[in-house]
Amino acid sequence: MSVLLIAIFFSLLLTSRHAILANGFRFITGSEWDPVTNTFRSLAFVVGTLVTSLIALVIATILALALAILMGEYFKSGPFSAVMRTAVELLAGIPSVVYGFIGLFFFVPVVRAIEEPLGLPPFGVGVFTTALLLAFMILPYSASIAREMISLVPSDLKEASLSLGATRSETVWKVILPYARGGIMGGVLLSLGRALGETMAVTMVIGNANVLTFNVFAPGNTMASVIANEFSEASSDIYLSSLIEIGLLLFVISTLINIAGKVVVNRMATR
C-alpha cells in the first residue's frame, strides 16, 4: 500500500515538474488562474476545497450523530431500524453524477429561494450548495460507522449509568458518546476524505468560478473540479503541468489531513 502511495506521489511529482519550476512558491500563495498569460496559482482552489469540505463535514456530522444515536440506541432493531439502515446505506451507493443532477435540479432552486429574500445575488450554485450536497454524500460513511460504534458500547456501562439515576439522554451524551468518541471520529475522517476528493457532483453545482472567495453564497471552484473541467482541453505544456501540480497538491493535502485525523483519533481512543 505504502509503495503504491509513494509511487503515486512520485509520478505526480515527475509529470508536474515543469510547472513546479515555472510557477515556484507563488503557486500556493497566489489565486490567479489565467490560461491566456499562463499564470497559474492554486490558492482559489485550495480554499474552495477546504471550505466546502469543512462546511459539509459540520453539517454531515450533526446529521450523522443524530441518525447514529437514533439507530444505535433508540431503535436498535425492528422494521423502522431496518428501513433507516438500508436507506442510509443506499445513499452511499448513488453515483456521484446522479448526486450532481439532484444538486442541480433540487438543491440549486432551493438555495436560490433562500438567497433572493436575503438580498444576495440569486446564483443558486455556489459554495454553500456544494457543501450541502457533499454533506448528503458523505453522510452514510460517518452515520454507519458511528451507529456501529454506539451499538458496541457495553450494556453494563449504560445500565450502571441508568441505575445511578441518569436519564436516557444523559446516558447518551455523558456515557455512550464519550466511549464511542474514537470510532465516531474515525468515521468522520473517512467521510472528510471523500468530501475532499469529490469531483463530478461538485463540478455541477459549484459554479466553476476560478476566483478566491470566502463568501459561501458565491460561486467558486475546487481542486478536483478544476482538474475535471480543464484537463481534457489543456493544450499547452505548462497548463497541463499546472493542473497535475494541483493534483499533487490535493494528494498532499488529503494525506496531511488524514495523518492529522489519525493522531486525533488515537488521542481520543486511548484515554
Partner 1 sequence: MRLSRIALAALVLVAAAALGFGQSVELVGAGATFPAPFYSKVFDEYSKQMGVKVNYQAIGSGGGQTQLKNKTVDFGASDVVVTDENAKTFPASFVSIPMVEGSVTITYNLPGNPTLKLTSDIVADIFLGTIKRWNDPRISALNPDVKLPNTAMTVVHRSDGSGTTAVFSDYLSKVSADWKSKVGVGQSLNWPVGVGGKGNPGVAGLVKQLPGAVGYVELIYALQNKMPYATLKNKSGNWIVPSLASTSEAGMVKIPDDVTKVNLTDSEAANGYPISTFTWILVYKEQNYDNRPKDKVEAMMKLLWWMVHDGQQYAEPLAYAKLPAAVVAKAETILKSVTYGGTPVLK
Q: Could you tell me if 144 and 187 are in contact, meaning their C-beta atoms sit under 8 angstroms apart?
A: yes
The reply to whether 124 sits near partner 1 by the rule CB under 8 A is yes
Contact 190, 142 (CB under 8 A): yes
User: Which are the contacts of 165, defined by CB distance < 8 A and separation ≥ 6?
Assistant: none
* 33 scored as a contact of partner 1 (CB under 8 A): yes
R_g of the chain computed on alpha carbons: 21
Cell triple for 211: 476566483
Q: How far apart are the first and last CA of the chain?
A: 30
Q: Point out which span in 7-15, 28-36, 134-142, 170-178 binds partner 1 (CB under 8 A).
A: 28-36
Query: Which residues between 74 and 113 bind partner 1 (CB under 8 A)?
Result: 104, 108-109, 112
Residues 229-258 that bind partner 1 (CB under 8 A): 229-230, 232-237, 239
At closest approach, how far in Å is the CB of 103 from partner 1? 12
Binding segment for partner 1 (CB under 8 A), chosen from 32-40, 136-144, 176-184, 249-257, is: 32-40
- Pick between residue 9 and residue 239 the one whose CB is nearest to partner 1: 239
Query: Does residue 122 bind partner 1 (CB under 8 A)?
Result: yes
User: Closest CB to partner 1 among 188 and 226?
Assistant: 226
Which three three-digit cell numbers place residue 226? 478544476
C-alpha–C-alpha distance, residues 85 and 150, integer Å: 14
**Which listed range, 29-37, 57-65, 157-165, 180-188, lies at the site for partner 1 (CB under 8 A)?**
29-37
* Residues in contact with 264: Cβ distance below 8 Å, sequence separation at least 6, in sequence order: 185, 189
Query: Cα separation of 191 and 186, whole Å?
Result: 9
Q: Which of residues 1, 4, 36, 118 is near partner 1 by CB under 8 A?
A: 36
Least gap, CB of 12 to partner 1 (angstroms): 20
Which of 203, 213, 222, 241 forms a contact with partner 1 (CB under 8 A)? 203
d(CA 236, CA 35): 9
Q: What is the distance between the alpha carbons of residues 213 and 221, in angstroms, rounded to a whole number? A: 9
Among 210, 213, 222, 241, binds partner 1 (CB under 8 A): 210
The contact set with partner 1 (CB under 8 A) reads 32-37, 39, 104, 108-109, 112, 121-125, 203, 207-210, 219, 229-230, 232-237, 239
